Every structure is written in C-alpha cells, then in structure tokens.
Amino acid sequence: MLMLLAITLRLFFLGIFLASIWYVAAWLHTLFDLKRRWPLRLGVAAWLFGSLFAMLATARATSAWIGSLNVFGGYVFTLYIYLVILLLVLHLVQLKWKQFEKWSSPVALVIALALTVAGAVRANSFSIVETEIKLAGLKKDVLVMHISDMHIGHHRGRAYLEEIVAETNGHRPDVVLINGDLVDANAALLPGVLSPLGQFEAPVYFVGGNHDNYVDTERAFELITRHGVRILHNEIVDLHGFQLVGLDYMNPDEDTFDMHPSHDRHTIKDVLPTLAIGKDSPTVLMHHSPVGLDYVTARGIDLMLSGHTHAGQMFPANLLTPFIFPLNKGLYERDGTTFFVSQGAGTYGPRIRLGTTNEINLIRLKAE
C-alpha cells in the first residue's frame, strides 16, 4: 500500500510537470508566432528536467563546480515554477481585461525573475527565533539552542557553520541540540568544513536526519564525533534537570506513509517503549521529523523537538506543507505533550527562501 502511494504521488507530479511543459510551450508559440510546436516542447522539457537533473544528480558530489551547478539548477527550476504560476494567473486576468494581453508575457517573466532573486538573497542569512516553553518538573531554567537542517554541502559550507556557531556562543546557551540534516553532500566531509563544530562553547548533542543518510554516513558521523559532538542513537542522557532522548531518523511505524521514508528497520512505535525513561524528571525528545506523535504522547514525553519540514521553504510549497505535516512550524500542544518544529537553518533543492525564514531556535525551558 505504501509503495502504491509513493508511485501515485510521483506520477501525479510527473503529470503536473508534463502539463506545464505543454502550457509554457504554447505560450512561447503564441508570443513569438512560431510555426513548429515540438521543438518548443522539447526545449521547455530540457529547461525543466535539466534543472531538476542539475539539482538531484549532483547532490552527493564533492566538486566545487558541480556544487555550483547544483545551486544554479535550483535557481533555474525556481524561475520555471514561478513563471508557470504567473502565466496562469495572468491568463485569468486576460479573460477580464483583454488590453492587458500584450503586457502579460514580459510582466510574468520580470516578476518570476524578481521572486527568484529575492528568494536567493533571503536564503543567504538566518535569524534567531526565541521561544519560551514551560516544562513541568524542571527545577531551574535551561537555555537551549536548537539547530536543525543546516544542510552543509553545496548550498553552504564552513563559513555559514562558523556564523551559526558564533551566534550561538554569543547567547551562551546551556546546551546545543543539532536535530538532523547537518550535511547533505559529501562536499561537507572535505577537510575542515565541519571543524567549526568544535568551537561550540556548550555541550552539543546530535541526532541524524534523512539527508545525513544520503551521504557517506559513517564518515559523516565520525567527523561529527571527532569535533566533540555527542551523537545519540536511540538513547537517553540526563542533563540540567531533564532527560534528553535522542532517536535515529526512523519511520513512525510500519503502516504510515512518509515522503522521506527511512530504511532503518526500527520505528518510533517500537523504540520508544524500550527506552528506560524515568518519571522523576521531565523529558525532551529529539527526532528529526515531526512524526509518530501518538506514540510520543502515549509515552508521556513532555517536549518533542523536530525540524525537517522547512515550513515548505518557498512559496507556494509553504501553503501545502501544513496538509503534509500537521505540525509544520512553531509550537503545538497535544495530549499533554508540547511539540516544537523548526523551519530549519538551511535549504534543500533550490537555494531559495520565500515566505519562510532560515532560523536557529533559542528555546528557554522555564521551570514551573
């Protein structure tokens, strides 16, 4: 059943892409009064699928120029998506105002280009988002820097990681929690790229995400550990008056559909009951993806921290992610458990942020 859903979803997106190719080719045919349609369709298909190939086929490479191709492919893909959306919108406008027809094509292209540039610029920085969470049973306040989805690789490298470390140290947190997708290309494993991890001035704990499994994971985890970061593999540590539970990236159970399934045979449903979680102090759970919520609440977890969603990262995906992830960004309460989902500190696919923000999260755990 899950395989059927995955195939159906892929076919759905393929159908949308093919329809968009037909539509854009028809627009170009009308705009330039061309006679042959098939060369246009092939050219538009090369534009769309070429940019997708540039992003997806280069994701694991180490070469700098291939990394540049990866980023450029994302920009070209974004321009295409925005152009299609704007053409559709302006096509509807023309139905009411015919005089707008001669201006619609250049307007669509200019706006699509402007949105792509704005999203590219916005993706270059991050903000600090402060959140206060009351934690029952906590004896004293604890300051946590929660960092998810940095995606060190082609989109950003050592310099970006250094910025995050410096900003984090400036806030003097008691503990730093890195919640998956630290790396997403083998370029991140080149000498020195991850060395800023060793400059954190507070203890650092890490759990893996789906993208950490797309690279040389053994090498990545070795480097992360070498720089003083403790990786939690389905285990518990006691610190600052609470129990920190760190889970590997896994599916919630064997039956729930996940767009980014894990190949780990373990599931949240199976693992959580096996962990010796005490009742004398509150619990904070780290899992990269905000899934398995029923199992988390049933286990009596006080706070679950996640990322993964990027809050959709760019318009119009940010309008769709709430339907895919019921917990999309920010704070939620459910059956006695507090959930916090970060928008993430980086980007994947297109290096674009529009309608969302790169963020690292300063979480003040307040004693009740």
Quick one: 251 and 331 in the same domain? yes
CATH no. for residue 360? 3.60.21.10
Structure tokens at 113: 């280009």
CB 193 within 8 A of CB 69: no
Neighbouring residues of 275: CB distance < 8 A, sequence distance ≥ 6: 234, 235, 236, 245
Q: Of 6-10, 126-130, 140-144, 309-313, which range is least confident? A: 6-10
Identify the domain boundary among 69, 87, 122. 122
CB 207 within 8 A of CB 268: no
Quick one: 27 and 160 in the same domain? no
Residue 354 and residue 266: Cα distance in Å, rounded? 35
Quick one: 258 and 292 in the same domain? yes
Domain of residue 187, residue span:
128-367
> Residue 341: beta bridge partners?
306, 330
Quick one: 7 and 60 in the same domain? yes
| Continuous H helices in the chain | 2-31, 38-56, 64-96, 101-122, 158-171, 217-226, 268-271, 293-298, 317-324
Quick one: 142 and 10 in the same domain? no
> pLDDT tens digit string along 64-112?
888 899 999 999 999 999 999 988 888 787 767 665 556 667 788 889 9
Identify the domain boundary among 88, 122, 156. 122
User: How many domains does one find in the chain?
Assistant: 2
Residue 345 and residue 167: Cα distance in Å, rounded? 12
> pLDDT tens digit string along 137-160?
999 999 999 999 999 999 999 999
Quick one: 305 and 353 in the same domain? yes
> pLDDT tens digit string along 201-240?
999 999 999 999 989 999 999 999 999 999 999 999 999 9
Question: 359-367 and 127-135 as β-strands: parallel, antiparallel, unpaired?
Answer: parallel
CB 292 within 8 A of CB 331: no
Number of H helices, E strands in the chain: 9, 12
Structure tokens at 207: 């759990």
